[in-house]
Structure 1
Amino acid sequence: MFDPAAADVTEAIYKLKREVLEFRAAEDPLVPVLQEIVRGRMAMFGPTREYFRDVLDHLLRVDGQVEAHNELLTSALTAHVALLGNQQNNDMRKISSWAAIIVAVPTAIAGIYGMNFVHMPELRWLYGYPLAVAVMAVVMGLVYYRLRKSGWL
């Protein structure tokens, strides 16, 4: 369950949980009936009360184990959902980082050039636009480096 490369175990956990609940639905109603027999409230079972007391003890032990399995499966499912949420957060960070690199930086620089100012020094300069593209590439590289260093990429 904790191996990132493992297959999704959510369905398997739900199947096990369903089986535990079905078993519980089958054994849970027996507890009050056996308690009534052991207490002697049903006279017809008088000679076998000791046998039913033993059966009740076993049933209560099984009931405790079923409850423990149910809680364990609930905890496993909660842990699995938390791991999935963590993985989704990591994926979202990577997507956001690449969006910042590929979209935000060029859009900001291109937005300034799209304003069509009359007095932009590079308009009459032969290397103006190659310099702007180079600045975009350098800034994108810096953003990539910082995001990589911070663990987002």
Structure 2
Amino acid sequence: MITAYRSNGDAIALSVEHGAPALTPDIVWVDLLSPTRAEEDMVEGLLSISVPTREDLKDIEPSSRLYIEDGAVFMTGSLVYKADSEVPELTDIAFVLIDNRLVTIRYAEPKSFGLFIAAMHRMQEGCRSGPILLTRLMETIVDRTAEILEQSVARIDGLSMMVFAETSRSKRRPPHYLEDRLFDVAGHHRLVSKTRDSLASLSRLMTFLYTVPVIQENRESKELCRAVSRDIQSLSEHASFIAGNITFLLDASLGLINVEQNAIIKIFSIASVVLLPPTMVASIYGMNFAVMPELHWSFGYPLALALMLLSAIIPFFFFRWKGWL
């Protein structure tokens, strides 16, 4: 699907069936969403550029993602999408500046694009040119990334309260409670990891974009580019801080699991020690030697039972006095 946008935000759908229309000067953005080969050929004919294919977007070499060819500036950045789902992913999007227009090629629909398209009508001065539109689009992308990190912080804080929630002796955690929280930690780690990768990609893109002559010649786009670069740097540091908190939460969860397991082992250890003296008494009087005077006592059986009970009670109260129970 191909959509062209005027500087005031009005959208025009371009179709291969209707032929290649002439692009009027007020069209500053041509957006290709999951384009077919025919649609790519049409855009190449309209703008005289080589549209990057899906395979080209997957190339991670910096020289293949950021370059200038025949007066057109080609840039590829990685954006987070499906951030609100359980499996967030990265999608590669190509940005091309050509003839004062912006061309984007994407195979996913990140939320930042929808937010920017909806906000184009509310921009006071509109997007008069491709460079200004690109820098404002990058600003929206960075704002959306900041929102993702803010949501991650809130969710991680809630998860931390769940992990460290106090439990009384009468109300213990459900079975496998902490193990389930480990899967939650893994999900948050995946999202933050994808966000950090996206920020690293955007940082390289903005550094390259700042050196492009068409950006340097426009004061507004130059200042916007510089501001977006500073925002990316601060968000990268914040993402690193969040990643550190996730690592701490993971270590703490594993530590609490070990504490619970040790408590169970301690109970069994104390039980075995408490039952050891009665077992010894029963073993002694279970022997079948001929000369055992106690075997002929009329009160021998209740005495042995009392001795077994006493030998179990004394270690039990000793452990309670020590605070081991």
Asked if Structure 1 and Structure 2 have the same fold, meaning a TM-score greater than 0.5 normalized by the shorter chain, the answer is yes
Find 1:122's aligned residue among 282, 285, 294.
Answer: 294
**Unaligned 5+ residue runs, structure 2?**
1-162, 168-172
Alignment of 1:30-49 (within 5 A): 30-38=202-210, 40=211, 42-47=212-217, 48-49=221-222
Q: Say which SS state the counterpart of residue 28 (structure 1) adopts.
A: helix
Structure with higher strand content: 2
Q: Could you report, residue by residue, the CA deviation over 1:79-124 in whole angstroms, capped at 9, with x for unpaired residues? A: 222122222222221221122223x222222222233222212011
Runs ≥4 residues deviating over 4 A? none
d(CA) in 1 for partners of 2:246 and 2:280?
Answer: 50
Look up the SS of the partner of 2:294 in the other structure: helix
RMSD of aligned Cα (Å): 2.0
**d(CA) in 2 for partners of 1:33 and 1:63?**
14
Change in 2 beyond 3 A, CA 1:4/1:88:
farther
1:82 aligns with 2:255: yes
Tell me if structure 1 keeps the 8 A contact 2:189–2:246: yes
Q: Is the 8 A contact 2:278 2:311 kept in 1?
A: no
Q: CA deviation at 1:20?
A: 1.0
Q: What TM-score do you get using the length of structure 1 for normalisation? A: 0.85
Q: Distance in 2 between matches of 1:16 and 1:78?
A: 14
Q: Distance in 1 between matches of 2:253 and 2:264?
A: 17
Q: Distance in 2 between matches of 1:105 and 1:31?
A: 70
Q: Relative contact order: is structure 1 or structure 2 higher (C-alpha 8 Å, sep ≥ 6)? A: 1
Query: How many equivalent residue pairs?
Result: 150
1:23 aligns with 2:185: no
1:101 corresponds to which residue? 274
Question: Of Structure 1 and Structure 2, which has the larger fraction of its residues in helix?
Answer: 1
Aligned equivalents of 1:150, 1:85: Cα separation in 2: 22
Contact 1:101 1:143 in 2 (8 A): yes
**Displacement after TM superposition at 1:75 (Å):** 0.9
Q: CA deviation at 1:44?
A: 4.0
Match of 1:91 in 2: 264
